Chain A
C-alpha cells in the first residue's frame, strides 16, 4: 500500500491561502488521493479526493502532479476554524479502500 509523507506542521495567516503538500511517490494507478482533517479529537472529516485531475469543491482544491507522485491541498481563504490536523491518504477499491494514516500536518491558522 502506498504511503504518504507530509510536513509535521505549517502556519498560515487568516484570510490567506493555505497550501498543504503531500508526497505519495509509490502510488499505483488505481489509487485515489484523499484528504481529511481532524479538529481536536473529533472524527476525521472528508475534504476532497482525486485520481488524476485537479479537483475543486466548496471546501478546497486538490492539485495532483502529472506523475501523481505528489499533491497539494489548497484552502483558498483560511479561517481560524481551519486549524486542524490534515491527513493525506491513498486508497483503492481494489484494496477495499483501506486507509493508512500517517501523522498528518498540523495547520495553525493565525490572526
Chain B
C-alpha cells in the first residue's frame, strides 16, 4: 500500500491564481482530512469528509473548496490564491469500524508559496 499520497510536493503560485492540491489514499478509508501548517505552528483543520459526496468545514475553511467524488480521492481547491495561504498542506485519512474510529494517517505534505 502507498498509504496517503499528495501531489505536487512543491508549488509557487502568483496572487490570484488557482490550483488544486491532490490527495489519494489506497486504504479504503471513509474519513479524509485537509490541514494546513504555518511555520512554527501546529496543524489546523481546513475541511474533512466522512465519505464520498459528504464534506464539511473545519477550523479554517475560508479561501478553500473540496469535493469527494470517490472514496480514494479528496482534492483541495484554492480559487484565488493569497499570500496568507502560503503554508504546508497535509492530507490525512482514517477508517471507521463499528463504533471505533482508527487513528489518522498523514501524507507527506505539499509546500505552497503564494507570491
Contacts and interface: CB of A to CB of B under 8 A. Distances in A.
Interface of A: 34, 41-46, 49, 87, 91-93, 96-104
Q: Please classify how large the interface on chain B is, using the bins under 10, 10 to 19, 20 to 34, 35 or more.
A: 20 to 34
B96 interface: yes
A97 B29 CA distance: 13
A99 B104 contact: yes
A76 B98 CA distance: 33
B113 to A, nearest CB: 13
23 contacts: A41-B37, A41-B109, A42-B108, A43-B107, A43-B108, A44-B90, A45-B106, A46-B105, A92-B101, A93-B96, A93-B99, A93-B100, A93-B101, A97-B96, A97-B101, A97-B104, A99-B43, A99-B92, A100-B45, A101-B42, A101-B43, A103-B41, A104-B42
A43 to B, nearest CB: 4
Contacts of B109: 41-43
- Residue among A45, A46, A99, A103 with max Cβ neighbours from chain B (10 Å): A99
Nearest to B107: A43
Contacts of A42: 108-109
Interface of B: 4, 31, 33, 35, 37, 40-45, 48, 50, 58-59, 88, 90, 92, 94, 96, 99-109, 111
A45 B42 CA distance: 14
A96 B42 contact: no
A23 to B, nearest CB: 15
B104 A96 contact: no
A97 B45 contact: no
Contacts of A45: 106
